[in-house]
A and B are shown apart, each in its own frame.
Chain A
Amino acid sequence: MEELSVSSLDNSKLEAMAQDILSDLVEDACLGLCFEVHRAVKQGYFFLDDTDQESMRDFEIVDQPGLDVFGQVYNQWKNKECVCPNCNRSIAASRFAPHLEKCLGMGRNSSRIANRRIVTGNNTNNKSESDQEDNDDVNDNDWSYGAEKKAKKRKSDKNPNSPRRSKSFKHKSSTASKTNQDNEAHAPPKDSYIASSRPVGMMGPRRRLENQESPRMLMKDEAFSQ
């Protein structure tokens, strides 16, 4: 049986075969598009991208001074005031957040302030908004920690070992510590041991005999005096 191979074909047949494959691919692309369009038509979204020129004019972006993009009159100062949803007052935008906190009573001390305001509601109606806010600021104790700060004592005064002590104090303590060091120098060393009658092979700390004193090193002065 003969082998089927591309190499046996001449150039003309090879070209014809390539053309056939290309035409198949183009056919596939056309069919795919037809199916896609038909589906879009039946589903109802094929004509969605069609726009009418007259309707487009209605929705054009407006670029004129004094008007926003929708063509409506733009008031420059109107948006700088907000209406409180709780008390329905018109408040400057810069003061709206602090007012709302105190008005709704959601902050730390604001709930107490709000309750106080409810109790004394009749008196505050006569006052202006700014006066009320000033009053609230006085009552607001979030930032008043001056008294507490004064009441606290410095830890460094109590603790002599603190690294932040004054120089004079440091000097005094250094003289005192010198005398202690001198006394300790003449005292017998704590960890000195004498030879005991143990076997040589035994390792470990040698115990001090009961009657014997622990030997100590002689200082220079003592050595010369002897």
Chain B
Amino acid sequence: MVVVFSLFDADRLPNLARSGISPTNTMNKEARLKASINQKLTETGERDRLKELLRAKLTECGWKDQMKAQCKDVIKQKGLEHVTVEDLVVEVTPKGRALVPDSVKKELLQRIRAFLTQHAS
């Protein structure tokens, strides 16, 4: 027998409990929906286009140079021979997320929203 642990509490969500829809079902539904959207993004090639757009915009605004400077600091701390990909990812990724300009985020969000509304069936 498989036991499914729900992240939601039934007391906190009385509407769901009353309607007979369990929290696990909604989670599965959302996960499946997200998976289908990701599949559509990949199939249509929109994901690659968005990646290229993001990369171009980030390079244009100087994000890449800032990130390389951060990487240099990490390499100097850890040592040239001892630095690993994990070290770089752990140190650099949070800063990278924070350094993405709002204008770039807005532009990409608009593109993503347009895609979602276009493929709404």
A interacts with B? yes
Residue positions of A touching B, CB distance < 8 A: 2-7, 9, 13-15, 17-23, 25-35, 37-38, 41, 46
The answer on a CB contact under 8 Å between B113 and A38 is no
The answer on a CB contact under 8 Å between A5 and B89 is no
Given contacts A7-B121, A37-B68, 13 further A-B contacts (CB under 8 A): A4-B33, A6-B33, A18-B116, A21-B112, A22-B109, A26-B96, A26-B97, A27-B97, A28-B51, A29-B54, A37-B75, A37-B88, A38-B85
By secondary structure, the B interface counts as helix
Interface centre among A28, A30, A46 (most CB of B within 10 A): A30
The answer on a CB contact under 8 Å between B120 and A30 is no
Q: Across the interface, which residues of A come within 8 angstroms of B84, CB to CB? A: 38
A21–B71 Cα distance when bound, in Å, is 25
Q: Across the interface, which residues of A come within 8 angstroms of B36, CB to CB? A: 4
Residue of A21, A30, A31, A35 touching B41 (CB-CB under 8 A): A21
The answer on a CB contact under 8 Å between A31 and B120 is no
B50 at interface (Cβ–Cβ under 8 A)? yes
B80 at interface (Cβ–Cβ under 8 A)? yes
The answer on a CB contact under 8 Å between B112 and A34 is no
The answer on a CB contact under 8 Å between A34 and B88 is yes
**Given A7-B120, A41-B83, is A29 in contact with B37 using a C-beta cutoff of 8 Å?**
no
**Given A21-B41, A30-B97, is A6 in contact with B121 using a C-beta cutoff of 8 Å?**
yes
The answer on a CB contact under 8 Å between B64 and A33 is yes
Residue positions of B touching A, CB distance < 8 A: 29-30, 32-34, 36-38, 41, 47, 50-51, 54-55, 58, 64, 67-68, 71, 75, 80, 83-85, 88-89, 92-93, 96-97, 100, 105, 108-109, 112-113, 116-117, 119-121
**Given A4-B36, A20-B34, is A37 in contact with B51 using a C-beta cutoff of 8 Å?**
no
The answer on a CB contact under 8 Å between A41 and B109 is no
Measured CB to CB, the closest approach of chain A to B45, in angstroms, equals 14
Q: Across the interface, which residues of B come within 8 angstroms of A37, CB to CB? A: 68, 71, 75, 88
A18–B88 Cα distance when bound, in Å, is 27
